[in-house]
Amino acid sequence: MNAIDPETHRELIDVWTDVRDDPDVWVAILTGAGEKAFCAGADLKKLIPLAFGREVSTAVAREQAAKELGLGGITRGLQIWKPLIAAINGFCLAGGLELALACDLRVAAEHAAFGLTEVRWALIPGAGGTQRLPRAVPLATAMEMILTGEMIDAREAHRIGLVNRVVPAREVMPAALQWAETIMERGPLAVRAAKEAIVRGLGMSLDDGLRLELMLSLTLRGTRDADEGPRAFAEKRRPVFKGH
């Protein structure tokens, strides 16, 4: 079920750090091995018990929260402005759904199932689920999913806007790759700035968001890619972007 144990958690943090820092990486796709599951979340037998058996004071909890990168790196504390695509090939549950929610585009197989099931085990979604799901779907729907811990199928996930597309299982990765190839044809610095404006702007007032947008837009104007784009348009050719 591609559950995340401590070793996988650390490896994912390393991989996402490389994605963030490697200038040759413009887009990343996250998927699960096999066809049964994208990810069933944290391994309840290995990862979760590390926090059991000891009381945690409010002060200690705040200290730990300030250091915590979240499940698999991308759910908290690691800002990646490059586009992330989730290719959801089966069960997408608990921390697995939180990983998918931390991605920007989501394509799901027809047999995929989604749920934040933590309350079944006296836990809450602790890797962004209580914050990202209500931002991705209607509040009442998010409340129902989180408070009941029940799952929904791919068709319902698409209806409520949780995923962008639903396709047959064999088409999940091709669909994700098609998105990646399209994004790779765009100006990479502009794509990253647009993502940053959207994500950071969600937590701002409209006026502050507009100022952020303008700042990012003005910054882009001094790049070589910003010269190449309009020139290619005028010359009626495909632009060749370099990411600088």
pLDDT digits (tens, 9 = 90+) for 118-171: 999 999 999 999 999 999 999 999 999 999 999 999 999 999 999 999 999 999
**Which residue type occupies 123?**
L
Class of domain 188-234: mainly alpha
Q: Which of 11, 55, 63, 98 is catalytic?
A: 98
The neighbouring-strand residues paired with 42 are 4
Active-site pick, 118, 150, 171, 213: 118
Per residue in 177-207, pLDDT tens? 999 999 999 999 999 999 999 999 999 999 9
Does domain 6-184 sit in CATH 3.90.226.10? Answer: yes
Annotation marks residue 98 as catalytic: yes
Domain boundaries, the chain: 6-184, 188-234
pTM strictly above 0.85:
yes
Query: pLDDT tens digits for 80-127?
Result: 999 999 999 999 999 999 999 999 999 999 999 999 999 999 999 999
91-93 β-sheet, strand order: 37-39, 91-93, 113-115, 152-153
Q: How far is the C-alpha of 1 from the C-alpha of 44, rounded, in Å?
A: 12
